[in-house]
Chains A and B, each alone.
Chain A
Amino acid sequence: NAGVTQTPKFQVLKTGQSMTLQCAQDMNHNSMYWYRQDPGMGLRLIYYSASEGTTDKGEVPNGYNVSRLNKREFSLRLESAAPSQTSVYFCASRTSGGSDTQYFGPGTRLTVL
């Protein structure tokens, strides 16, 4: 099992450009999450999907959109990138039922110039 995978690993954008960050998990997990990590601020939830077909806003959703394409894949889109969106983005997934553990992907380092 690859676990949670993310593409790309690194990306540089110019202000105003758009891009989609891809995330996939092969653990048959129901819930998936997108976080951003900034120095001194920990991980903050952008959007989440409790199950296939549903998405909801987290703490910092402005400037982002998401798509839960199927049970495996959860993408994050920046429609018009801004320098404030320079960050490391992590995707995570969690099964339902007894386990509470969230498993994280390797992250995408995004720089917006």
Chain B
Amino acid sequence: GENVEQHPSTLSVQEGDSAVIKCTYSDSASNYFPWYKQELGKRPQLIIDIRSNVGEKKDQRIAVTLNKTAKHFSLHITETQPEDSAVYFCAASRRGDGANNLFFGTGTRLTVIP
């Protein structure tokens, strides 16, 4: 099955700085890579995703890059704000493969210091 590794497990940045979280995956057939944000005591919520036919996607201060050859993808948050503090999870799946099951990384706890 798919194995997703995520680094770092914790990350502290000063407000206004950038944050980068990296994930690798093992299954070359995976073609969908979402990122979820989970605030303390809340449910995971999708913040951005990328499909394997593109290398980069941006949404305001958030961007995701994908390197299919190296089987890794990254989340970039610019101009961080205190409300960005949360746990972030990457995931990988095969689109169109029945239920489209997601395989999650172990999470990165991001703390933005005001």
Contact = CB atoms under 8 A, between A and B. Distances in A.
B78 interface: no
A49 B99 contact: yes
A74 to B, nearest CB: 12
Interface size class of A (residues with CB under 8 A): 20 to 34
A107 B44 CA distance: 10
Contacts of A106: 42-43
B83 to A, nearest CB: 19
Given A100-B49, A101-B49, A104-B45, A43 B99 contact: no
A42 interface: yes
Interface string A77-89: 0000000000000
Interface residues of B, number: 25
Contacts of B104: 42-44
Main SS of chain B's interface residues? Answer: loop
B67 interface: no
B46 interface: yes
A103 B45 CA distance: 7
Contact of B106 (A31, A33, A42, A50): A42
A105 B9 CA distance: 24
B72 to A, nearest CB: 17
B36 to A, nearest CB: 8
Interface in A8-23: none
Contacts of A107: 43
Given A59-B1, A90-B43, A102-B46, A42 B105 contact: yes
The 4 closest A-B pairs by CB, nearest first: A50-B99, A42-B104, A104-B43, A42-B106
Given A48-B99, A58-B101, 7 more contacts: A33-B102, A45-B101, A45-B103, A100-B100, A102-B34, A104-B43, A104-B44
Interface of B: 1, 6, 9, 32, 34, 42-46, 49, 51, 89, 93, 95, 98-107
5 contacts: A33-B101, A48-B99, A101-B49, A102-B46, A102-B100
